[in-house]
Structure 1
């Protein structure tokens, strides 16, 4: 055996009369990771053979409870499905084109900053490859005095991001289904009750899929990614090749808009154009959300400290480029943005209204159907990621009822209770639709703000308080870590208040047109903060190990590894796995 094959993480020993039939020992301080068990000279004794993936999660302070059935492709499949570019672009017409016009410029600008946030998050995911995600990183990077509160706040922010994902996606998908019926049957007008019922049916089917064994869920999400990519390409081709504007408008307009129109900005708000531009970033932020999903699937992924960050980077980069190309296609074919805003056909879906301006009826039906199918897979991926977050936070005792929510089914090896908790919460969020379009629209804004707060909290700490102590993982940004992190934090600081702005001002602003994001997001965070001050500070300390104390020994790092003497000069590197 060469020295390179020696594993400094795990050693194997014979049965000990006091400790029982130990077959593996994980030496936490030999693992290239900062964790809640680090720097305590801890050895974890395990009664089975341990590979490096399990050794990593044990060193982070947790038992390996899931099967590691996800690969780099599988978690990329989940995150790209959560991204769901085609249904996301369709759902966000209200928040981009109907704010600043048809130009792709807002997408190009926003995606640059969104990608910087994603790259910083990827570096964090490599350093802390555990399903708890950013709160775990915050607990290790924050000043000791504020560690518990900042971790608590990050947990609640990220959880709000996760639990609003599925209901917002499925609400949009249900609206698109019913808009298609209205397009085919003009006298049909869907009620809120019908939209709620259809969205509920979609949520329930997603609940059953997310409860399946990990391998099945991974395969379904891989299928969803293939479908999303395929349908995205098909609809893109339909928009360009199936564009029938010349015939539909009797030759009064060309097949494609000239550059002066395609790249023009048209402020649809009461704010100055610069502010309107920033407000339109919500469409990009929401459409590009989901790149954090690999982080929350880390404990189900092989070589997570490399696969998870790579999947995050791939999702944000590939998604950003493809989305920009798609936006160019829209800008060169869209006929009348004001007519889409007026919605004379009563479709209630701007994207479908856009398709009716450039395509014949059969093509509109086909393109909308492809978008609906993509939306279905997107919603399922959102629930899968959200359920893992709920499970991980329950493992740390964050919620009332955590002892039930953290249960992993022995049959499927998945957190079934956490799945259905998310389904129920999604149903409660959907009740906002009965308060009007602006109220239900708040769950889109909340997802953007909540995600940003959670994603950038560890980045902010990494470049400030922990700038000299942060220990990067095998995937890192090197010298660009601080500059990219600074850009990410500055962008989020600007966008948080912007995403709370209403689209009207003065006498036009009323309860119906008010942006309720501040209430829906900051209200729960305020209540969580009050709870922490009044009670939770007494018992919540952040992530806590679920490894049995009887399996932990202190100051007992053996001198023999894999049957050979320990090589003191050997340092852990991921290539030696």
Structure 2
């Protein structure tokens, strides 16, 4: 019987009295519980909110919204956030009904037609693994830029970081996440509460201090008319498309909610924790981000060209410096890059769970090695180091030129959205009427409407936002967007790998529970045989 049949055969291991409802549901999906459920509902929300970390994330990608002016920063953020929420709600429905760490490719297999379910499952798994690795790359690269902006400010522009300095800090940061994954695995859940509180404190302090400093030291805050109706266009694209490109800021920032899915097998009350974490983090970040961007627009230099060309290489650092001076800027920027370190660590944890789950199903190279858990720490440390090593290799692109560096930020978005919209599209088209919902459900019609919007928006993000060159419709080799090359290589490569070789052995998600029960049953049979043989000898 396949893992997706409606009725699941009861087996001895699944009927143990100590099982809780989370483990029982996981066994119904075909998997043996192997990870400890250390994450509460709030902590599952916390890991997504921690990865999104609004203020450092907005600071890292302000370069994408500034070219469209304050309108791009405020209304662009709000519109995109509402569209992102449709993706999150569709994912939350599936996560509520079928909470497993490899949810994205598992759902793809379940909802796709039999003729394409295995290659699409294979593609979704590779896209998700690459997307989370890309998220680690972009977050830690953003961390490096934030950190190096501090000495640039402290020396009044005397120090200007090079791409080699930035990569060196990036490499040290990624390695520190791998080490922390080994040393602090038992504290990961508790760290999420710390991250929520720290993010809230820094946001409140900065949002109060910034307009006060602007009013006192930089000629007064900008008018509401400027904040909510003034547009700019520093691209060579038409102004309307420049406004749409400003959506890259929220699309990149609110891009890690699938981490809740990947932590599902470590969550208590997973069918509630996963959808709450997804919908809650997107909604909160969408609302708070709108007000944060409005405050930044009210407090910044109206000559946006000065911000985009800041000597520190960080527009947010220049905005803080203009309004608050050197000491406040160094203090706030230090807080931001500390928070961003935790962002990178959280996404590395989530990514390691996806890699572990995908290797558990035998789909990655070295799967038998990667799927091994550290027994003492009850954590997939090999998967953690795998994703960190891959991140170090991918980030070498930043040493080529600025165009390749920009592709690093789009890498996570493109692959993540592909992994997200494949199962959403398949469920909307093929299985919306037969879907067995969990506690979070939009209803048959609501699911179809929201899922359709999510699919259209996700496709638009992949094709138009991440693949188009930012500079304009006539790119050169130095301004070309290489995201399509990087992602296309992995996507087409994974499909080629499937059809050339993996189709011979990849059968989709495995039933680890069934395998374990077969082992137990064979062990019992062997013991019975020994007993019979012993009895015969006595006779």
TM-score (norm 2): 0.91
Is 1:293 the equivalent of 2:262? Answer: no
Taking the aligned partners of 2:273 and 2:346, their CA distance within structure 1 comes to 18
| 1:41–1:221 distance in 2 versus 1, CA, 3 Å | closer
* 1:156 positional shift: 1.3
Is 1:316 the equivalent of 2:316? Answer: no
Deviates more, 1:181-190 or 1:292-301: 181-190
Is 1:84 the equivalent of 2:38? Answer: no
1:96 is matched with 65
Taking the aligned partners of 2:55 and 2:483, their CA distance within structure 1 comes to 25
1:9 is matched with none
Determine helix, strand or coil for the equivalent of 1:359. Answer: helix
- The structure 1 residue matched to 2:106, chosen from 136, 140, 158, is 136
Taking the aligned partners of 2:472 and 2:252, their CA distance within structure 1 comes to 24
2:149 is matched with 179
Q: Is the 8 A contact 2:214 2:322 kept in 1?
A: no
Is 1:228 the equivalent of 2:199? Answer: yes
Determine helix, strand or coil for the equivalent of 2:214. Answer: coil
* 1:348 positional shift: 1.1
Taking the aligned partners of 2:93 and 2:217, their CA distance within structure 1 comes to 52
1:45 is matched with 12
1:109 is matched with 79
1:497 is matched with 463
Q: Is the 8 A contact 2:186 2:377 kept in 1?
A: no
Taking the aligned partners of 1:550 and 1:385, their CA distance within structure 2 comes to 26
2:164 is matched with 193
* 1:482 positional shift: 1.3
* 1:27-426 alignment runs, 5 A limit: 36=3, 38-39=5-6, 42-46=9-13, 48=16, 49-101=18-70, 103-185=73-155, 186-212=157-183, 214-244=185-215, 247-248=217-218, 253-260=219-226, 262-335=228-301, 336-343=303-310, 346-426=311-391
2:502 is matched with 536
After superposition, the C-alpha distances for 1:135-179 in whole angstroms (9 at most, x for unaligned) are 111111000111001111111111111011122111111111111
- The structure 2 residue matched to 1:469, chosen from 434, 439, 455, is 434
TM-score (norm 1): 0.85
Q: Is the 8 A contact 1:104 1:327 kept in 2?
A: yes
2:529 is matched with none
Give unpaired runs (5+ residues) of structure 1.
Answer: 1-27, 29-34, 554-577
* 1:189 positional shift: 2.1
* 1:100 positional shift: 4.8
| 1:233–1:273 distance in 2 versus 1, CA, 3 Å | same
Taking the aligned partners of 1:505 and 1:312, their CA distance within structure 2 comes to 34
* 1:512 positional shift: 1.5
Taking the aligned partners of 2:8 and 2:86, their CA distance within structure 1 comes to 37
Taking the aligned partners of 2:256 and 2:498, their CA distance within structure 1 comes to 28
Deviates more, 1:234-243 or 1:441-450: 234-243
Structure 1 vs Structure 2 CA RMSD: 1.9
Q: Is the 8 A contact 2:398 2:404 kept in 1?
A: yes
After superposition, the C-alpha distances for 1:308-340 in whole angstroms (9 at most, x for unaligned) are 111111101111101111011012122121111
Deviates more, 1:380-389 or 1:356-365: 356-365
User: What is the number of equivalent residue pairs in this alignment?
Assistant: 512
Q: Is the 8 A contact 2:40 2:273 kept in 1?
A: yes
Taking the aligned partners of 2:266 and 2:209, their CA distance within structure 1 comes to 38
| 1:433–1:43 distance in 2 versus 1, CA, 3 Å | same
Taking the aligned partners of 1:549 and 1:75, their CA distance within structure 2 comes to 29
After superposition, the C-alpha distances for 1:458-495 in whole angstroms (9 at most, x for unaligned) are 11111111122221112111242111111111111222
Give unpaired runs (5+ residues) of structure 2.
Answer: 520-539
- The structure 2 residue matched to 1:444, chosen from 381, 403, 409, is 409
Q: Is the 8 A contact 1:86 1:374 kept in 2?
A: no
Determine helix, strand or coil for the equivalent of 2:10. Answer: strand
Taking the aligned partners of 1:37 and 1:59, their CA distance within structure 2 comes to 9
